[in-house]
Amino acid sequence: MTALEQYARLEAPGIWRAAPDAQRQDVVVALGEASLTITDMQDRALAHWSLAAVARANPGEMPALYHPDGDPGEELELGEIASDMIEAIERVRRAVARRRPRAGRLRLTGGLAVAAAIAAAAALWLPGALRDHALRVLPPAKRAEVSEALMADIRALGGRPCHTPEGDAALAALAARVLGPDAAGRLVVLREGPVATASLPDGRILLDRALVEDPAEPDVPAGFVLAEAARQGDEDPLARLLRAGGLPASLRVLTTGRLPPDLLRRHAERLLTAPPTPVPDATLLAAFEAAELSARPYAYARDVTGETVLGLIEADAVAAHPTRPALSDADWLRLQGICEE
């Protein structure tokens, strides 16, 4: 987009609607290197449009009406006051049009060769680049919306999450002890839960009820929570979802903030059935040491013989020193009863 360097940091007011039946609202449109960012008057991102895929519904007329190519239901209106923005968008559209193949065998052959090269490069680079861009720009509110949509499918598959007033308080205490004082609400116990633990895109950690009902001590679920938090550090949970959806999912979440229901349903099934991906022992040991928890209860819960988790057992730097308990005895009893209602 070097032709648009003169428009760096260009912003303009506009009117935007997400769908034909949606309410129109005043917005601010910002021109980026490869996209238009549409935010509300409180600077919250509403949509991201690829500059190369912006279509105009009324060429030559004012106010200018734009929409994402292939989705005329979403609309952006720019008036005379946004003339610089309109000029910049039209320059991009003309540049895109000039690059389209023209008639003629030689030109067609060359165009096909270029298209093949671009397609090959796009197949290798574009999905990952768009996914990384989506992970950077998607606001927490949109992550929360995606997570709530996943939770709706999870409830349909595995039942509602476990709740009792006393159990919820104990679960909040466990989250604060393991993940920090601001972690209230990050842990969810499911009646028909995942294989041990799983993560939602907003950072919430799902636990199977067996993790709080079966162990003899709270250090076991605390260890599984620590391991899942470390797993989130290795890979953003939203990245796994977008990777499963491929390029269309990344494009859709960038332009609309939403994901296809069938993709969410399949991902919810995977969260409940797929075993957690392994976390390196060095990463786990560092997390346990930082949390002042012994790794041994977690290790023996994974393998009662200790053979496959010997690295965690032998290198546990905390086991020889007194540590703060994961929960008090009273809170542990309350947590074990969280699914009784």
Summarised one tens digit per residue, pLDDT across range 255-291 is: 877 888 999 999 999 999 988 899 999 999 999 999 9
- Average pLDDT of the residues in 160-170: 94
Residue 313 has pLDDT above 50, yes or no: yes
Contact call for residues 84 and 7 (beta carbons, < 8 A): yes
pLDDT recorded at residue 19: 87
- Average pLDDT of the residues in 196-207: 93
Beta bridge partners of 66: 56, 76
Highest mean pLDDT: which of 63-72, 97-106, 111-120?
63-72
Contact call for residues 74 and 18 (beta carbons, < 8 A): yes
Half-sphere exposure of 7 (CA within 13 A, CB side): 26
Q: Tell me the residue length of the chain.
A: 341
Residue 2 has pLDDT above 50, yes or no: no
Contact call for residues 36 and 48 (beta carbons, < 8 A): yes
More confident site: 9 or 273: 273
Residue 201 has pLDDT above 50, yes or no: yes
More confident site: 165 or 248: 165
Residue 244 has pLDDT above 80, yes or no: yes
Residue 4 has pLDDT above 70, yes or no: no
Phi-psi region of 26 (alpha: psi -120 to 50; beta: other; left: phi over 0): beta
Summarised one tens digit per residue, pLDDT across range 202-224 is: 999 999 999 999 999 999 999 99
Model's pTM, two decimal places?
A: 0.63
pLDDT recorded at residue 226: 96
C-alpha dihedral sign at 334, 338, 340, 341: positive
- Average pLDDT of the residues in 313-340: 89
Q: What is the mean pLDDT of the chain?
A: 85
Summarised one tens digit per residue, pLDDT across range 23-48 is: 999 999 988 777 888 888 888 888 88
Of 74-78, 93-97, 171-175, the range with the lowest mean pLDDT is: 93-97
**266 Cβ contact partners less than 8 Å away, ≥ 6 residues apart:** 244
Rounded to whole angstroms, how far apart are CA atoms 135 and 242?
A: 9
Residue type at 234? D
Residue 126 has pLDDT above 70, yes or no: no
Rounded to whole angstroms, how far apart are CA atoms 295 and 302?
A: 11
